[in-house]
Amino acid sequence: MTAHPTSRDEARQPAESTIHPVDEKLPILKMATSGLQHVAAMYAGVVAPPLIVGAAVGLSGTELTFLTGACLFTAGLATFLQTLGIWKIGARLPFVNGVTFAGVAPMTAIVASTKDKSDALPIIFGAVIVAGVLGFLAAPIFCKAIRFFPPVVTGTVITLIGVSLLPVSFGWAQGPNPAAHDYGSATNLTLAGITLVIVLLLRRFTRGFVKQIAVLLGLIAGTVIAIPFGVTDFGPVTDAQVVGFPTPFHFGAPQFQVAAILSMCVVMVVSMTESTADMLALGEIVDRPANEKTIAAGLRADTLGSAVSPLFNGFMCSAFAQNIGLVAMTRIRSRFVVAFGGGFLVLMGLCPVAASLIAVVPRPVLGGAGVVLFGSVAASGIQTLARAGLDKDNNVLIVAVSIAVGIIPITAPNFYHAFPETARIVLDSGISTGCVAAVLLNYVFNHLGRPGSVDAQDVTHPMEAGEEIAVGR
């Protein structure tokens, strides 16, 4: 009588042990709380792009709230695609997807080059749709061509993303309106500085969940501190509806302009490169190495999510690298946890009041937090470059020239003023030009010619390749 249950247990044990932690379904409460933590870790990152682009377009507080909610909603949909998957779409790894930072600078360049600002968002949406469709078709090919995007290229591009966005945070720190009398005032800069200090203190002296949401807590604290100074506006919250839906093509039907499409296609290449690197890293962390098939499926999810996103007024989507660190820290590897986070994003997108909360945050407070947020992106790129073999002269030249090309629009905004307006959409984006330069230079220095002729030499003076540096001789 006792042997029968034992045999059942033995028969059941192998089936239980075959469930990989990535595919494990945890208790509902644990999945919900852990999923909310993923949302908290990436919330500031997913709402920053619509804030930047919306401000550049000149949207009102209500319209800015709508755009932010739309980006939250589409981030949730893209996360569902990536974690749950359908057919050959989705890496089925614990990935959080949201609006990629890589598209911010090119999108603001599109806005700046558009005479009628009401056409800016439709032009951006049209370009993202085309880039998403082309990226979806190219996914099986791109995963094979990843050798042309080594760390020396991806590190350079990620660094340029952060560097290109830092001026935005500096502008926020000075105030919302450059024409206002208090723009750049001591009050605004002090609020930005206080917010920055709060975020740094939270990152230094807290741990776990609180440390992960340090930026979010800094925004809340900075907003509260700013109330006595009269720079906190609660109008967007009082005007927002409790329940709403991101009406398709709310800002107008998509428009298709060649220059804008080319610019966003470059961003798509950058985004696909980042996502590939993220999948490789996450695969190692969760003990399910990402092979070529997984990468292709993950890229399909990214690109399809990006192509569908503009339908609901969202931007290009990509994996969020900061959430990979959260998986490593918590050791909760279930993709269903992240799917719960995607559910929270969808619900927030359907609740305009929740989305409007970020519109309450004063620009100087956003500026202080943005220094950490955007600076962290640049630091991530530097970390990638540290693994890029900078002891080789070829790689030093690739990074040096690519970064120099990429920062031209930042340090000399009128550098390309004599070029046609359509060409400036691409040229005025340091990320786009820097990426193209890095890919081409990497091909010329590390791939072109016979295998034996492209071996990088030891680092020397850029103009004296081949000579060794005499150290301690």
* Percent of the chain scoring above 70 in pLDDT: 86
Asked if residue 432 has pLDDT above 80, the reply is: no
| pLDDT tens-digit map of 10-28 | 444 444 458 888 888 888 8
The confidence score (pLDDT) of residue 381 equals 81
pLDDT higher than 90, residue 154: no
What value does the mean pLDDT take over residues 263-268? 87
Query: For 268-322, how does the pLDDT look when each residue is reduced to its tens digit (9 = 90+)?
Result: 887 887 788 778 778 877 888 788 888 899 999 999 999 999 999 999 988 876 6
- CB-based contacts of 187: which residues, under 8 Å, 6+ apart? 229, 231, 364
Bridge partners, residue 99, by sequence? 317
Output the average pLDDT for the chain: 81
Model confidence at 355: pLDDT above 70 = no
Secondary structure class of 468 (helix, strand, coil): coil
Query: Is the pLDDT assigned to residue 258 strictly greater than 80?
Result: yes
Beta strands 97-99 and 317-319, pairing class: antiparallel
Distances (CA, A) of 65 to 134, 219, 354, 448: 30, 17, 9, 49
Q: Which two tokens stand for residue 367?
A: 């500026």
pTM above 0.85, yes or no: no
Whether the per-residue pLDDT at 338 is higher than 50: the answer is: yes
C-alpha 220/C-alpha 228 separation (Å) is 14
pLDDT tens digits, 51-78: 889 988 988 877 888 898 899 999 999 9
How confident is the model at residue 224, as a pLDDT? Answer: 92
**466: pLDDT strictly greater than 50:** no
Instruction: Give dist(CA 144, CA 148) in Å, integer.
Output: 9
Q: Do 292 and 145 contact (CB within 8 A), yes or no?
A: no
User: Tens digits of per-residue pLDDT, 95-139?
Assistant: 888 888 778 878 988 898 888 888 899 999 999 999 999 999 999
DSSP category for residue 248: T
Residues near 170 by beta carbon (within 8 Å), at least 6 away in sequence: 367
Residue with tokens 């974690």: 83
Q: What are phi and psi of 329, to 5 degrees?
A: -75, -45
Least confident among 120-124, 170-174, 342-346, 416-420: 416-420
On the question of pLDDT at 240 being above 70, the answer is no
Closest CA to 156 of 394, 372, 386, 456: 386
pLDDT digits (tens, 9 = 90+) for 34-48: 787 787 667 767 888
The CB density around residue 283, as the number of other CB atoms within 10 Å, is 19
